[in-house]
Structure 1
Amino acid sequence: MIEREIIHTTPASKRIFDVLQDIVQFVVVFVRIILELFVSLVQTFLPKHQKDVSGETILITGTGHGIGRELALHYASLGSTVVCVDIDEKNNQQTVQKAKRLNLGNVHGFSCDVSKRDEVMALADRVKAEVGPISVLVNNVGIMPTHPILQQSAEEIQRVFDVNVFSQFWTIQAFLGHMQEKNRGHIISLSSIAGLVGIANLVPYCATKFAVRGLMESLHAEIREGPHKNLIKTTTIFPYMTNTGLCKHPKVKFPSILGLLDPKQVARRIVEAHRSDVMEVTIPSCLLYINNWTRLLPDHCGLMLKDYIDSGVESDLI
């Protein structure tokens, strides 16, 4: 009789213990979150520490013009070894020459169509042989056809995914091993404000930029669970419309507040985010908070705010 009582009561006591254990773990997590919020609040009022990047070998895609070119110049000015990659060999060489004239860091140029996996894998071997393993990868390259979805050709949609999304898969697969060899590294990928908010005339582009966000978030989770946790960092950048030529017909209601950004300003903020080990940042930074808080509101509230801001792009077929 006593043995039967023990058999029946043991599962119940174990369930109670498991529940109590879950409650304790939740309280611990809750307290840690509160402490982290307090630390983050304090840090907003303190000068931000930025790590030295002068010893880094930094590979940047899409350096032929725009943000990519400005990134190459900025990193070279900090003494980094910069590897410039673009399909446009002529413009890429101009970037290399401008960066070399700074006389502060070694600069190398390579031509590659990063949308093609075989070319990226061959590039990785060349860079490793001629420059050495890289420690920082900046996935900057992107294209942006701008017209309604029914006027987007199959070839355009395929190409925008090849360049904006699949190129990032290929470069990560090609160069993550370099970082694992060094036992440190940083992967920086450019998404877009269009990777947080859907915008008319940019359906395929928005889809690719949302995909980049998912890629980077899951990559960060995978790295955290591996042997290089805290040694290989990730940063996702969400810039507002930038004056690089991609936005052919921008629509801006408040140009003094939300006008097109200067590529130099964007590059500077990207480098700051990298050096501060920030995981996600919008440019301007306030847009991330506005988006996150708006998502908590009913759908119509978000749409009303979006209509009020009324920024985006007109069709480039007009």
Structure 2
Amino acid sequence: MNIFLEILLLLLTFIYSYLEAFVKLFIPLKRKSVSGEIVLITGAGHGIGRITATLFAKLESVLVLWDINKNGVDETARECRKLGAKVYAYVVDCSKREEIYATAAKVKEEVGDVNILINNAGIVFCADLLTLQDSQIQKIFEVNILAHFWTTRAFLPSMITNNHGHIVTVASSAGVIGVPFLVDYCATKFAAFGYHKSLTAELSAIKKPGIKTTCLCPVFVNTGFVKNPSTSFLPERALKALNKFLDVKFDAKVQCIDKDK
């Protein structure tokens, strides 16, 4: 496409997006109730997972919290119970498929059918491609993307039966633009973004409009794996538009924390 047409299309996208946001200030969309819905959150022991759990607790959802860190998931559970939520906490290693399937079966028996699945668990290693260990590359794919397949395969059947549910994929801004020294992480988040798009298309193809999907692409945040993150690019809405229509450079700096030390 001609570069001038691309820029024009970008400007029109900006204008439409801001007009849409302006209208919603005065005519907000009606939020659906999640009261009583069973919400499963992976990686709920800290960071985005913990914040998400507390938000759903305030909305009176039934929470199923998964994390590999027992102290972390128990702390999140305590916070959510203080808010009046009914909470079930499980220690799960999302890099292990059989452990995911076994715990999913336990959840179905002890809690019921999961209505909202939030695939949030993730890990990150900050190193150049040649410094990364083979085991680290395998591990990050197991947690950041393969676990999405196993959790969805475990809980999607009941959603299909009821034509009701919501699957949330927590990807990253690093899932749309590559970042140096995060080749493994970016690859998994690109995969997560593609997984979301394909799953959404598949649910449409099998005519299950009652099952919704959402993909989140946050910038780097303090989650326990990174320290003092900073980015130097445009706001996220502008980033998405620029990435779609132009060749954009992404500059991000993160300081990783070795969780094994």
Q: TM-score, normalised by structure 2?
A: 0.85
2:124 to 117, 125, 144: 144
Question: What pairs up with 1:81-100 in 2 under 5 angstroms?
Answer: 81-100=62-81
Q: Distance in 2 between matches of 1:201 and 1:248?
A: 15
Amino acid at match of 2:70: E
2:82 to 82, 101, 115: 101
Amino acid at match of 2:176: L
Partner in structure 2 of residue 238 of structure 1: 217
Q: Say what the alpha-carbon RMSD is for the aligned residues.
A: 2.3
1:43 to partner: Cα distance: 4.8
1:292 to 234, 241, 247: 241
Amino acid at match of 1:92: V
Report if aligned partners of 2:229, 2:254 keep a CA contact under 8 Å in 1: yes
Amino acid at match of 1:80: S
Residue deviations 1:79-98 (CA, integer Å, cap 9, x gap): 00000011112221111111
1:77 matched to 2:26? The reply is no
1:42 to partner: Cα distance: 7.6
Report if aligned partners of 1:55, 1:79 keep a CA contact under 8 Å in 2: yes
Amino acid at match of 1:313: V
| Runs of at least 5 residues in structure 2 that lack an aligned partner in the other structure | 1-15
Residue deviations 1:45-78 (CA, integer Å, cap 9, x gap): 5223211111210000011111111111110111
Q: Distance in 2 between matches of 1:235 and 1:144?
A: 22
Report if aligned partners of 2:80, 2:87 keep a CA contact under 8 Å in 1: yes
The residue matched to 1:248 in structure 2 has which SS? strand
Q: Distance in 2 between matches of 1:98 and 1:315?
A: 27
| Runs of at least 5 residues in structure 1 that lack an aligned partner in the other structure | 1-36, 259-283
Partner in structure 2 of residue 312 of structure 1: 253
The residue matched to 1:83 in structure 2 has which SS? strand
Partner in structure 2 of residue 118 of structure 1: 98
Partner in structure 2 of residue 272 of structure 1: none
Q: Which has the larger radius of gyration?
A: 1
1:245 to partner: Cα distance: 2.4
Report if aligned partners of 2:126, 2:181 keep a CA contact under 8 Å in 1: yes
**TM-aligned CA distance change 1:127 to 1:56, over 3 Å:** same
The residue matched to 1:150 in structure 2 has which SS? coil
Partner in structure 1 of residue 200 of structure 2: 220
Question: What pairs up with 1:26-175 in 2 under 5 angstroms?
Answer: 43-45=23-25, 46-103=27-84, 105-175=85-155
Report if aligned partners of 1:82, 1:106 keep a CA contact under 8 Å in 2: yes
Report if aligned partners of 1:76, 1:102 keep a CA contact under 8 Å in 2: yes
Higher mean alpha-carbon deviation, 182-191 vs 43-52, is at 43-52
**TM-aligned CA distance change 1:71 to 1:251, over 3 Å:** closer
Q: Distance in 1 between matches of 2:88 and 2:206?
A: 32
